[in-house]
């Protein structure tokens, strides 16, 4: 199925892509797939992880840190960073006050730590601030964003802060970040889901919330969208045949699954006329070879 | 293998279903509740965000937050959707010492922006509602479907986190609104606090700090009531009246989450009932023998082989995912095979309930 609305060039022409969706639907996979596709086109790409544990297989147990690094030897222009709020906070404050000793005295104080950890939105603000500063250094930054609700919080916190804090650098920076997030030329949010009830419902709701915040929602990636080989006629013949009940049961299961896929595609169609399939994978822990396979398949659809 | 405590589930009064998102928690909760009702227990299931078709089957709409009778053939079953949108407002309304103070908090600009983001508040409110319904004493059996959480018993940690934020004496002291009224207070501050203030002032301005201080000190005033209630919710959760069920799907990530959850439950000494692993493909032993003698044409046969191949691969994947649980004899777990289609009606729930509690 060739998609007519979106193509890879348009997608990777942005400077900042956020990949989000319900937990466990393939956000990290899609972030890397898009990263590989953009890197192959010669772009200098940075993938931002906010929870680096999800890539453990790719980096073979190594921890990705707060400094961008290359993790795939055959992709020299693909970089990965793990942005954690504490490091981002320290970097930001040091930028403001310039004295490490002062930072230590003030912000490593136990009580201040409590406060920093408990202040809602502060962690998100620090992370998105770091992402903002990285956009200038790469052709394309792809954020493997948190799941639905938290992902939305990450994208809306700059607006909240800039409208609450009118003076001082914090308010001004929040405003600049918010402007970048709302710049349709530069920023797009890419959603991924699987053909199941809750993920589909949440994805549609999330897209509506994002649009109501005037954020630009791009194409939808439908993960685990399998190809079904049996036709209705095949199934009729099989159910009438002398195959074992086990086999007939499986064939029935298969047709129920196919109906479900059609059903969910239909629900998604109103919100996302533009759907891109990600092939079905049998293991959730896969390496570069599998990612490249998915990238090739996706590339064919939108290339 | 551990004793199957899931069979004793009806000796409990409250069952709490936990697990990460997308593992069939809501469905499992509803299936347990349906079984309890069949046993003649007047039952209610408190659910967070059911899938649309399941909600419809249970007679729930997203607009209503009152208990609704579920149209079951046997027994008396009620379902209720927990309102998690206004969770924090409810806390404020309940625990603020006066209506005036409640209003002051609710109208604080920062509060308005941030109340929905306080981590764990949703989870905690679910526990609050549970306590409330238990106290009312209208039901014999209560099943709670918790919000999806990863890696933490957020509902236990949320009150602690809030107390940490608001009760902290130093913070309260130097953020008292009076300080900003004049310069009198400044001299009293020790050096550290002064530095913190000057840094925060440069970053965000004093008016922002003032609002922040107001919010924190107002919230500090409602702590006493809040803490007392949090303690009794905590006591209830730790009593033998309660039982926790951990739900997973047969993927490595989900099972890892469930095991982590189990360790936490153990640490907290919460009463544990067992694991449920949902939607397992069990097709490793399906035989292709009957295909050989079949009169179907070879193209269709080839397709059937492909389908079987697909489900066998999935069966292998699921088996290897649950190996970890199988190996450690520490955990009791119950597996539920994949049902054709999705469970979205009472017939499906009944079937699942029977598999779960046979």
Q: Which residues of chain B have pLDDT under 70?
A: 1-4, 62-64, 84-87, 109-110, 112-122, 149-155, 158-197, 200, 205-210, 212-213, 216-217, 220, 328-331, 341
> Helix B206-221 crosses helix A168-181 at what angle (to 10 degrees)?
90
Segment A1-23 shows an average pLDDT of 81
- Report yes or no on A150 lying in a domain: yes
Torsion sign across C-alpha atoms A88, A90, A91, A97: positive
* Confidence at residue B161, expressed as pLDDT on a 0 to 100 scale: 66
- Report the residue of chain B nearest A115, measured CA to CA: B165
Tell me what pLDDT residue B189 has. Answer: 43
Other beta carbons within 10 Å of B284: 13
Its ipTM equals: 0.81
Q: Tell me the whole-structure pTM to 2 decimals.
A: 0.82
Residue A246 lies in a domain: no
Question: What is d(CA A23, CA A223) in angstroms, rounded to the nearest whole number?
Answer: 13
Q: What is the pLDDT of residue B15?
A: 96
Burial A228-250 (b: 16+ CB within 10 A, else e): bbbeeebbebbeebebbebbbeb
Backbone angles phi, psi at B46, to 5 degrees: -100, 120
Which of B19, B204, B253 to mutate to probe the A interface, most A CBs <10 Å?
A: B204
Q: Does residue A258 contact residue A228 with C-beta atoms inside 8 Å?
A: yes
Query: Does A1 fall in a domain?
Result: no
What is the reported pLDDT for B47?
Answer: 85
Q: What's the CA gap between A109 and A114, in Å, rounded?
A: 9
H or E segment to which residue A220 belongs: strand A217-222
- The rounded distance, in Å, linking the Cα atoms of B177 and B212 is 9
- Whether the CB of A98 is below 8 Å from some CB of chain B: the reply is no
Q: Considering the domain boundaries, does residue A258 fall inside one?
A: no
Q: Encode pLDDT of A216-262 as tens digits.
A: 999 999 999 888 999 999 999 999 999 999 999 999 999 999 998 99
Q: How many domains does chain A have?
A: 1
Residues of B in contact with A201 (CB under 8 A): 51-52
Mean pLDDT of A160-173: 83
E strand or H helix at A46 = strand A45-49
Residues spanned by the domain of A159: 9-227+273-301
Residue A245 lies in a domain: no
pLDDT in tens, A113-158: 766 666 667 888 999 999 999 999 999 999 999 887 778 889 998 9
In a domain, A288, yes or no: yes
pLDDT at A17: 98
Q: Residue B252, exposed/middle/buried by CB under 10 A (0-12, 13-18, 19+)?
A: middle
What does the pLDDT look like over A50-69, one tens digit per residue?
865 666 556 666 778 999 99
* Percent of chain A whose pLDDT exceeds 90: 59
With respect to residue A214, please indicate whether it lies within any of the assigned structural domains: yes
- Tokens 């080839």 belong to residue: B302
| Averaged pLDDT score across all residues of chain A | 88
- Give the pLDDT score at A179: 98
Helical axes A122-135 vs A148-164, angle rounded to 10°: 90
Q: What kind and span of H or E run contains B244?
A: strand B242-248
* A28: CATH: 3.40.50.300
Pairwise CA distance, residues B2 & B8, whole Å: 13
Q: Compute the CA torsion angle B57, B63, B69, B71 (nearest 10 deg).
A: -20
- A172, closest residue in chain B (CA to CA): B204
CA distance A130 to A164: 20
Report how far residue B165's alpha carbon sits from residue A110's, in angstroms, rounded to the nearest whole number.
Answer: 12
Query: Is B336 strand, coil or helix?
Result: strand
The tokens describing B265, both together, are 């439950």
Among residues 19-58 of chain A, which lie with CB inside 8 Å of chain B? 22-25
> Interior CA angle at B213 toward B121 and B129, to 5°?
20
Q: Which of A55, A99, A106 has the highest number of chain B CBs within 10 A, making it the mutation to test binding with B?
A: A106
By three-state DSSP, how is residue A16 classified? strand
- Tell me the C-alpha distance between B140 and B10, whole Å: 10
Partners of residue A25 in chain B, C-beta under 8 Å: 22
Of B117, B291, B338, the CB nearest to A153: B117
pLDDT at B172: 55
């Amino acid at each position: 199925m060739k998609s007519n609305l979106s193509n890879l060039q348009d997608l990777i022409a942005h400077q900042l892509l956020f990949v989000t969706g319900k937990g466990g639907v393939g956000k990290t996979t899609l972030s890397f797939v898009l990263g590989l596709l953009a890197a192959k086109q010669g772009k200098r790409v940075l993938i931002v992880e906010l929870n680096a544990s999800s890539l453990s297989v790719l980096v073979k147990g190594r921890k990705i840190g707060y400094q961008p690094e290359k993790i795939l030897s055959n992709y020299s222009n693909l970089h990965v960073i793990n942005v954690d709020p504490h490091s981002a906070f320290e970097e930001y404050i040091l930028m403001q006050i310039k004295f490490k000793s002062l930072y230590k005295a003030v912000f490593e104080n136990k009580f201040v730590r409590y406060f920093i950890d408990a202040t809602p939105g502060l962690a998100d603000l620090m992370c998105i601030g770091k992402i903002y500063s990285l956009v200038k250094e790469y052709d394309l930054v792809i954020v493997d964003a948190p799941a639905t609700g938290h992902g939305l919080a990450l994208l809306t916190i700059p607006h909240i802060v800039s409208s609450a804090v009118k003076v001082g650098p914090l308010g001004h920076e929040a405003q600049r970040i918010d402007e970048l997030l709302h710049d349709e030329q530069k920023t797009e949010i890419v959603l991924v889901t699987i053909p199941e009830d809750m993920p589909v419902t949440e994805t549609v709701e999330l897209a509506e919330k994002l649009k109501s915040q005037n954020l630009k929602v791009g194409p939808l990636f439908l993960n685990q969208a399998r190809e079904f080989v049996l036709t209705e006629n095949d199934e009729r013949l099989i159910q009438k045949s002398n195959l074992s009940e086990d086999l007939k049961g499986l064939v029935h299961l298969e047709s129920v699954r196919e109906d479900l896929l059609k059903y969910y595609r239909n629900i998604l169609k109103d919100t996302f006329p533009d759907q891109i399939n990600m092939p079905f994978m049998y293991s959730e822990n896969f390496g570069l070879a599998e990612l490249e396979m998915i990238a090739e398949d996706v590339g064919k659809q939108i290339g | 293998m551990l004793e199957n405590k899931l069979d004793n589930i009806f000796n409990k009064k409250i069952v709490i279903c936990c697990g990460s998102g997308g593992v069939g928690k809501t469905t499992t909760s509803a299936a347990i509740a349906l079984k309890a009702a069949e046993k003649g227990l007047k039952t209610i299931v408190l659910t967070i965000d059911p899938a649309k078709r399941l909600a419809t089957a249970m007679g729930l709409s997203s607009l209503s937050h009152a208990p609704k009778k579920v149209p079951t053939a046997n027994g008396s079953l009620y379902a209720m959707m927990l309102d998690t949108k206004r969770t924090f407002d409810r806390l404020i309304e309940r625990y603020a010492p006066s209506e005036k103070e409640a209003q002051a908090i609710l109208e604080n600009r920062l509060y308005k922006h941030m109340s929905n983001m306080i981590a764990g508040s949703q989870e905690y409110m679910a526990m609050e509602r549970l306590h409330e319904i238990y106290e009312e004493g209208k039901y014999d059996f209560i099943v709670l479907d918790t919000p999806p959480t990863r890696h933490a018993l957020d509902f236990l940690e949320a009150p602690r986190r809030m107390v940490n934020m608001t009760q902290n004496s130093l913070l309260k002291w130097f953020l008292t609104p009076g300080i900003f009224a004049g310069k009198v207070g400044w001299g009293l501050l020790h050096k550290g606090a002064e530095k913190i203030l000057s840094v925060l002032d440069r970053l965000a301005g004093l008016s922002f700090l003032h609002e922040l201080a107001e919010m924190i000190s107002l919230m500090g005033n409602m702590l006493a009531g809040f803490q007392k209630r949090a303690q009794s919710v905590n006591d209830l959760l730790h009593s033998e009246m309660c039982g926790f069920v951990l739900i997973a799907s047969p993927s490595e990530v989900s099972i890892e989450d469930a095991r982590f959850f189990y360790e936490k439950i153990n640490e907290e000494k919460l009463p544990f009932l067992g694991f449920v692993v949902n939607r397992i493909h069990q097709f490793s032993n399906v035989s292709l023998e009957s295909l050989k003698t079949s009169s179907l044409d070879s193209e269709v046969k080839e397709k059937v082989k492909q389908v079987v191949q697909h489900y066998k691969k999935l069966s292998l994947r699921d088996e290897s995912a649950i190996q970890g649980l199988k190996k450690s004899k520490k955990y009791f777990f119950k597996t539920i095979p994949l049902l054709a289609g999705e469970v979205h009606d009472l017939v499906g729930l009944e079937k699942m309930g029977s598999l779960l509690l046979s």
